Amino acid sequence: MTDTVAAGGVTPYPDKWARPSGTPIVEAYHTAIRKIVAERLAASGRTWEEAVQDKSLQLTREDFEKVEAELLSTGYRFQMSAVVSLQEEPDKYAAPAERADSGAQDSDEQGRPIVGTGDNVFKARADVEGTARFVSDVERVMEMLTEGVPEGTIAVIDDSGGTLTAPILGDFAAVICMGGTVRSHLGILTREYSVPCLMAAELDGLSEGDAIVVEYSKPAADAYADAATAKAQRARIIKLS
């Protein structure tokens, strides 16, 4: 392992990471942290073996806050995993797009409008019919927690982390999540609870109280599929009334 001081800046240990980061945001963080470490090591005059034992050289909260501030100064905004993130720190998160309704939805084989698609977490025994109810904040969760989740609720949520709805998750007939992937925490939780779930759902024309049927009986989405295959695998959300 060697470090390299490039002209005009420091390129720490270019031979350590054999492959690029999975996303630009991860790459940005890795690059910034590697730069801090390389600069701190060079300034210390110590060997790597000596430096890793020196707590005075450890990364600090201030280091990470600086990296985040520099990233946000570029205009980048994080994608929220729950509405509460945007409410608490509006300067850090991108506002979600307005609920889409193009008015030009495709129809299924029976002429019913298709109001969304998503990646199926697991293959359920059958499709699920129910009522779409949006659950995006603590107040709605508390209402359902104290008064009970209405029978047949297909919860439409944005918290792919699963924390917000965890207390009532098992009471939903099914879940449609507008973020995350089938490997998100919410996907794992719904699979454990045997609650049919679509992740990364894209909606067009779905409203509170709509009666819908969702193709949860389709095979589970392949997280490693190419774009064309992944698109073909997506389960449909069909509006009944």
Per-residue pLDDT band for 219 (boundaries 50, 70, 90) equals very high
In tens, the pLDDT along 94-133 reads 877 667 889 899 999 999 999 999 999 999 999 999 999 9
Quote the pLDDT of residue 162.
83
In tens, the pLDDT along 147-185 reads 999 999 999 998 777 888 999 999 999 999 988 889 999
The two tokens of residue 241 are 């009334």
Residues comprising the chain, all counted: 241
The residue with tokens 């389960």 is 235
Quote the pLDDT of residue 5.
43
Mean pLDDT of the region 195-220: 96
Range of weakest confidence among 12-21, 29-38, 40-49, 214-223: 12-21
What is the model's pTM?
A: 0.72
The two tokens of residue 89 are 């720190």
The two tokens of residue 17 are 């990471």
Q: Tell me the Ramachandran region of residue 20: left when phi exceeds 0, alpha when psi lies from -120 to 50, beta otherwise.
A: beta
In tens, the pLDDT along 135-149 reads 988 889 999 999 999
| Nearest Cα to Cα of residue 190 among 155, 228, 145 | 155
Quote the pLDDT of residue 7.
40
Beta strands in 64-210 (DSSP E): 114-120, 128-134, 153-157, 174-177, 197-203
